[in-house]
Structure 1
């Protein structure tokens, strides 16, 4: 067997052995007293070895690149990432003995940068969030490496039909609950790959579950869903790390979504703090974004007289954001005043009060499907 082919075979075996040592992530119930007969679950992706949902993506991307002949022994791997994907890819690069370079916005939290370097990765910071793609491609060319390009390959690197993807895992774990087929599955797009996997899987399995994507304030995905315009751009990046993009990514597949909601960042952060209080531990801001989608879905079900279940994702741990989203001085400096918003979110979750207008005014079921 040629040396390169033998190295690929050994590398795949290393990644598969790492997967075999890993348990699945927990499905955590969250009682919403305001919505009797509606059961809510958070799939805790923060329990992966690298602490986030992106561990699944990184594993799939490395296997995809290896089996497509893109990685070479000793050659660097470069990724454009706002943090969590880079942390996970640094982990897998270290498993294979490959150099890893993360190209990230300069605003990425120091905690994430520290985690990347912990796994042996290098951090290449850029001022313009939209420049991470071109800069990654340049580094790959100049250093003879490979640009992993999560935003292009996320939707195709994962086998959406099965192979223990996140959607299959959700339905297996729900099988003994009183409402085993979720009425709604809620997630927020970073690359869009997870939503693509879930949307395709429910169609392939012929489940009745609907898929709701929740987009943060500074992101183009919601508008792309409404208009189908793939050329949309924003001048700034998302204020919620890990989700939302300033341009439409190839892995975002609006046709597999049943609805979308766009929410202001302040409400995502307030929902994050409320969820952390309920769970007794810090969670990331994207989990707060997801909670707002859950509350809207619960409102819709309640108004229709439906009972059933809703599943969403707890994307990462809030410990990564101790110096930002959980720091009162940082929040004040950014102009966020959250206590009153937290009270309103609690009223919806615990008493069934209507969600405030700023949360629900950008909601659509039509999108690119219509």
Structure 2
């Protein structure tokens, strides 16, 4: 006779798969760069997922992975260490299958993200910094007899990178009718490193020529770990750009599938948000700004080399979650951040091909 827990797991998996079946694919949006004719830029808009971000894919994969490994049962409390977006998506899936959810997040997490976690029935457990989320999540899991989902360990293995409509398969399918259907580059940033791993593995599995560029913000160790090969690197400070960049090298970070990394100054990531708002007619999250700067750098290099082709970058989430931070003049002023010079420089670069005064030095490009 099948155990009660086995029946519950089967029902939970069916609910998650039914939710996936109700969802359409995310859009691929072209964005013109007038200064670089022949170089086509596309934004893979992951903000259109039910929970509003790229992390919806990850959360679904993590829940299926945990269920099929026998790590969750009908009495489990799900706990996750997160900077916000993954927690929003995991709260959604926890509610879907009837489990309580606790997000361990830094106090600096935007109020919009906290509200979204609570909207889906999750509870927020705040800690002082991003460095504390790991240990506190483990402690809560032990004390409550719950399951620590641990996105930073399992992100790179929970997703089926061969097919199953992962983000890479979706990108290449949507590019088939474009003028340059095989992208020269796919640009994404690293939070766990899971998305980069999925895209890089899929490209190699399909024997494509496309290369992967990972964009890394300030106060993140990923770039330096990529350059030096030292996975023990740590920082005290956390990234200003929520959702990407880490103070330690996460287990899911897989540098061997990355063809290039670009270190992006925070001021340019924030300036890119204002440029994208005018160009797209909508607001994007901070990590999208980071990705755009790296994509713009690649477009400029391709143009200068006389190359034509396409670049696809990930639009990770919408800007509605950052109205009190990145889009707030008060928030910027409190931190003495003047983004106007960066906005002007980005605009000049994208529309006129003007050399970027903030162009990244060689040690920031690997």
Which of the five TM-score ranges fits, normalised by the shorter chain? over 0.9
Map residues 170-189 of structure 1 onto 2, 5 A cutoff.
Answer: 170-189=171-190
- Asked if 1 retains the 8 angstrom alpha-carbon contact of 2:263 and 2:365, the reply is no
Say if 2:365 is the partner of 1:364: yes
Say if 2:16 is the partner of 1:7: no
Map residues 123-202 of structure 1 onto 2, 5 A cutoff.
Answer: 123-202=124-203
Q: Which residue of 1 aligns with 2:274?
A: 273
What are the superposed Cα offsets for residues 136-178 of structure 1, whole Å, 9 maximum, x if unpaired?
Answer: 0110011011000000000000011111000000000000001
Q: Which residue of 2 aligns with 1:368?
A: none
Q: Which residue of 2 aligns with 1:313?
A: 314
What are the superposed Cα offsets for residues 246-301 of structure 1, whole Å, 9 maximum, x if unpaired?
Answer: 00000110000110000111110001111111111111111110110111111121
Say if 2:297 is the partner of 1:296: yes
Q: Which residue of 2 aligns with 1:99?
A: 100
Say if 2:53 is the partner of 1:52: yes
SS at match of 1:161: coil
SS at match of 2:192: coil
Q: Which residue of 2 aligns with 1:328?
A: 329
Q: Which residue of 1 aligns with 2:217?
A: 216
Give the distance between the partners of 1:257 and 1:31, measured in 2 at CA: 26
Map residues 77-88 of structure 1 onto 2, 5 A cutoff.
Answer: 77-88=78-89
Q: Which residue of 2 aligns with 1:111?
A: 112
Give the distance between the partners of 1:74 and 1:300, measured in 2 at CA: 54
Q: Which residue of 2 aligns with 1:244?
A: 245
Give the distance between the partners of 1:191 and 1:140, measured in 2 at CA: 20
The alpha carbon displacement at 1:358 in A equals 4.8
- Asked if 2 retains the 8 angstrom alpha-carbon contact of 1:184 and 1:311, the reply is yes
What value does the CA root-mean-square deviation take over the aligned residues? 0.9
SS at match of 1:359: coil
**Unpaired stretches in structure 2, ≥5 consecutive residues:** none
Runs of 4+ more than 3 Å apart? 357-365
- Asked if 1 retains the 8 angstrom alpha-carbon contact of 2:182 and 2:210, the reply is yes
The alpha carbon displacement at 1:360 in A equals 4.6
Give the distance between the partners of 1:235 and 1:91, measured in 2 at CA: 31
The alpha carbon displacement at 1:52 in A equals 0.3
Give the distance between the partners of 1:165 and 1:103, measured in 2 at CA: 27
What are the superposed Cα offsets for residues 306-350 of structure 1, whole Å, 9 maximum, x if unpaired?
Answer: 100000011001010001100101101111101111010011111
Give the distance between the partners of 2:161 and 2:353, measured in 1 at CA: 35
Give the distance between the partners of 2:169 and 2:61, measured in 1 at CA: 15
SS at match of 1:79: strand
Number of residue pairs matched?
365
Give the distance between the partners of 1:134 and 1:317, measured in 2 at CA: 30
The alpha carbon displacement at 1:128 in A equals 2.8
Say if 2:236 is the partner of 1:235: yes
SS at match of 1:310: strand
The alpha carbon displacement at 1:364 in A equals 3.2
**Unpaired stretches in structure 1, ≥5 consecutive residues:** 366-370
- Asked if 2 retains the 8 angstrom alpha-carbon contact of 1:292 and 1:359, the reply is no
- Asked if 1 retains the 8 angstrom alpha-carbon contact of 2:188 and 2:215, the reply is yes
Say if 2:256 is the partner of 1:255: yes
Give the distance between the partners of 1:216 and 1:358, measured in 2 at CA: 14
Give the distance between the partners of 1:169 and 1:235, measured in 2 at CA: 37
Give the distance between the partners of 1:102 and 1:254, measured in 2 at CA: 28
SS at match of 2:360: helix
Give the distance between the partners of 1:355 and 1:164, measured in 2 at CA: 37
Give the distance between the partners of 1:277 and 1:204, measured in 2 at CA: 38
